[in-house]
Amino acid sequence: MSDETVGENNVCADCVGDEYLRNEIATHGGEAACSYCEKTGRCFTVEELADWLEAAFERHFQRTPTEPSGYEYALIKEGDLDWERRGDPTAFVIAGTARVDEAIAEDIQSVLEDRHYDFDEAAMGEESEYAADAYYAEAPSNDVEFQASWREFEKGLKARARYFSHQADATLGMIFDGLSSLKTWQSEAAIRTIGPGTDVVKLHRARVFQSDEKLRQALSDPERWIGSPATEFAVAGRMNARGISTFYGASDKQTAVNEVRPPVGSRAVTAEFEILRPLKILDVDILRSIYVEGSLFDPAHAGRLEKAKFLASLASRITKSIMPDDEPVDYLVTQVMAEYLAERADPPLDGIRYASAQGGSSSFNVALFNKAARVEPHRAPAGTKTEVNIYEQDEDGWHESYSIWERVPKVEEVATPIKSGIPDFAAILSSSSRLDEDERDMTLRLDRPSLRVQHIETVTIVGHERHVLQHQSELSANTSSSDDPF
């Protein structure tokens, strides 16, 4: 038990290293002489500081077990574990959390121990909260509220308001608020820029073809057929609803091919696309390791820690493999999320970068939202005729050989008509009807020399084999069929 007067000791702001708590003392403390450094200034009493420490401990720490668990005892018995109690002594944790010296920490600890002293527990030899020999360790963040909100968001999309939901808007706003400030401890930002002058200046894309006719069509206009699909051909994907054109690219050619999962016997056309302008994208992998800086005394800090924990699990949700039968429903969630990031986030984003499950450890995919998915069309003189060959004959017969021939018309001098000063309305209307109605900025340019056709000859499947255990036993005479666990 402590001296009853120790709680009346004064602690000045200069004796507290935690910035948040120091500012609280400087703002709300009373003028007094510090009992520890003897300077006069704004002070809290030890009793008041104990209130702050108790609140911080309840949010961020847990008292560790005094003895090993049953499982740990078994490991100790087998010689597979050298057990020692986790954490640090109470006063040590107080000193580190508030950044105060040992004398102040011990006085705070004694006040807290007095508050929680239980005579009956002490008589039985049980350790009390905040005892001098108790040990505390930082508790893992609990993101249960974020998880519950996300489950309601998913349920609402799949079973209720599929196209618009105030709840979905509120949930996504809560999760992605402050997205631009999220970083790792190495200062890697969750929102990064790709494009000219960055480490990502091009993306690879692949498309699978199983017929000569469609392959010829694609090679005749690869900007259209290998780039992001036109609205009428855009099927639903992880980040887009049906009819919303989105560009899915990869960090390298092989990853692009792996992502489209071509069957044996098919042909995959690959191409590189140059990024023409800076694009802001969310790097999903960064969400797995967000660093939250702040004081454990700040009540809002716990919420930021909980959010960081949830974002780590959200990163796994976004990138997990979805079985074909589940795609129409499960894609709804990521489609709505992508639309929110593109239109409602601050700042609005151009796309998402995420790790590829089909490539190596350094490979990644980028999904560019509709506003950033426009591919620059191929510029050819009016009247150009395109011919595509996919076979060639030599002395050994016919074999695959791919070429694109553009037949450009001759440039002939045409007499310039004399202008009458009267507008040619027919010409204006004709010209207007041919204007490109797509108002999006050009984002990507196909590098035509990069076009390649891969013949898919084998597909390797890597799996982990598991045994199927088989058991057989006799039913007892008094066992009914309803008792059968199968």
Q: Which tens digits make up the pLDDT trace of 396-451?
A: 778 888 899 988 888 764 445 555 555 554 544 444 444 457 888 999 999 999 99
Query: Order of strands across the sheet with 135-138?
Result: 61-63, 135-138, 88-89
Tokens read off for 436 = 């490109």
Tokens read off for 256 = 């692009």
User: Which residue's entry shows tokens 């020692």?
Assistant: 84
Could you tell me the residue ranges of all domains in the chain? 6-138
479 pLDDT above the threshold of 60? no
Tokens read off for 457 = 């000859």
Tokens read off for 149 = 């909100």
Residue 471: per-residue pLDDT? 80
What is the pLDDT averaged over residues 247-272? 93
Rounded Cα distance between 464 and 373, Å, is 38
Tokens read off for 61 = 């720490």
Sign of the four-CA dihedral 74, 77, 79, 83? positive
pLDDT classification of 342: cutoffs 50, 70, 90? very high
Residue 390: count other Cβ atoms within 10 Å of its Cβ.
16
Q: Which of 76, 101, 90, 86 is nearest to 16 (CA)?
A: 101
Cβ-contact 293, 364 below 8 angstroms = no
pTM of the full structure = 0.78
Tokens read off for 189 = 């930002």
The angle that helices 327-343 and 299-319 make with each other, rounded to 10 degrees, is 130
What is the pLDDT averaged over residues 335-348? 90
What is the pLDDT averaged over residues 375-386? 89
Element at 126 (helix H, strand E): none
By percentage, how much of the chain surpasses pLDDT 70? 88
Q: How large is the C-alpha radius of gyration of the chain?
A: 33
What is the pLDDT averaged over residues 336-348? 91
The 3-state DSSP class for residue 406 equals strand
Interval 134-191: pLDDT, tens: 999 999 888 888 888 888 888 877 666 555 567 788 889 999 999 999 999 999 999 9
Mean per-residue pLDDT of the chain: 86
Rounded Cα distance between 267 and 240, Å, is 25
91 pLDDT above the threshold of 90? yes
Strand 397-407 and strand 364-368: the pairing is unpaired
Residue 460: per-residue pLDDT? 81
291 pLDDT above the threshold of 90? yes
pLDDT classification of 1: cutoffs 50, 70, 90? very low
Cis amide bond preceding 417, omega within 30: no
Residue 413: per-residue pLDDT? 46
Beta bridge partners of 240: 237
Residue 283: per-residue pLDDT? 95
